[in-house]
Amino acid sequence: MGRVRAYIGLGANVGNTVDTLTAAVPALAALPRVRLVAVSRLYATVPVGVTDQPEFRNAAVVLDVPGGPDPVTGALALLIVLKGLERAFGRRDGPRWGPRALDLDLLVFGRHAIRAERPLEASSSDRARSGDTDWAGAQWLAVPHASAHERLFVLAPLADLAPGLRPPGWGESVATARKRAELREGPAAVRPIAEWDQATRAWEPQDPAAVVPDGSTGASSDKRTT
């Protein structure tokens, strides 16, 4: 059984979101046979889909995880664990695109393109709407994550961690996809607000003066690596 590098998206907009996301990082690191590799900056992001709700806080992490006997089995095992953590942090059934206590999305699982039916314990907690084909699709695991390629709130933290990564099926790097999404959504849609501090194991508020026009900072990558 080999190891796979997995990229996980984190998001929340209910309760003390920063505390929730900060606590989620060591919870992910404590999973059996999982190693936390790196943590992105923390972003304030405007809601997508359902806009009449509070801003989200979003980030991403890199994990080295067990690959399983095959990629589908390994990815589904990780997904089950992620959904269990969401529930432990208070996530409940709700409308698609609605408020979230904690979202943990499997964005990329090594170099594998996966589509598999979710087992019951990893099914989506979003409530179906009449005729909602997107919800029906959410009952399948798609890796790379189906909407990651188009969503700036996913691409910005992912670009912090692996700008040159070319996920299966994308045909372009994460950095290129991020730039395209920013042109479409505008730079105000996703704003970096804090950097992960290795010593304190928490996001520390970012100096706005250190942010250059493309949203990046001059900080070295070791600030994000644990």
Structural domains in the chain, sorted by start:
3-223 (3.30.70.560)
Angle CA 131–136–141, to nearest 5? 160
Q: Is the pLDDT of residue 9 over 50?
A: yes
Chain centroid to CA 146: 12
Of 41, 91, 151, 178, catalytic? 91
**Nearest residue to 81 via CA among 122, 131, 109, 126:** 122
92 is catalytic: no
Given the residues 41, 105, 151, 191, select the one marked as catalytic: 105
pLDDT of residue 99: 66
Looking at the predicted structure, is the pLDDT value of residue 46 above 50? yes
pLDDT at 158: 97
- What per-residue confidence (pLDDT) applies to 56? 92
**Is 91 known to be catalytic?**
yes
Averaged pLDDT, 202-215 = 63
pLDDT tens readout for residues 166-199: 999 999 999 999 999 999 999 899 999 999 998 9
Averaged pLDDT score across all residues of the chain:
83
Sorting pLDDT into bands at 50, 70 and 90, what band is 12? Answer: very high
More confident residue, 94 or 133: 94
The reply to whether 103 belongs to the active site is yes
Catalytic residue among 41, 100, 151, 224: 100
The reply to whether the predicted model has a pTM over 0.85 is no
If you average pLDDT over residues 62-68, what whole number do you get? 96
Residue 81 has pLDDT above 90, yes or no: yes
pLDDT higher at 23 or 209: 23
Q: For Cα atoms 154, 122, 17, give the angle at the middle one, nearest 5 degrees.
A: 45
Provide, rounded to the nearest whole percent, the portion of the chain with pLDDT above 70: 77
Looking at residue 135, its pLDDT comes to 40
Active-site annotation holder among 41, 57, 103, 224: 103
**49 or 23: whose pLDDT is higher?**
23
Strand partners, 3: 66
Q: What is the pLDDT of residue 96?
A: 56
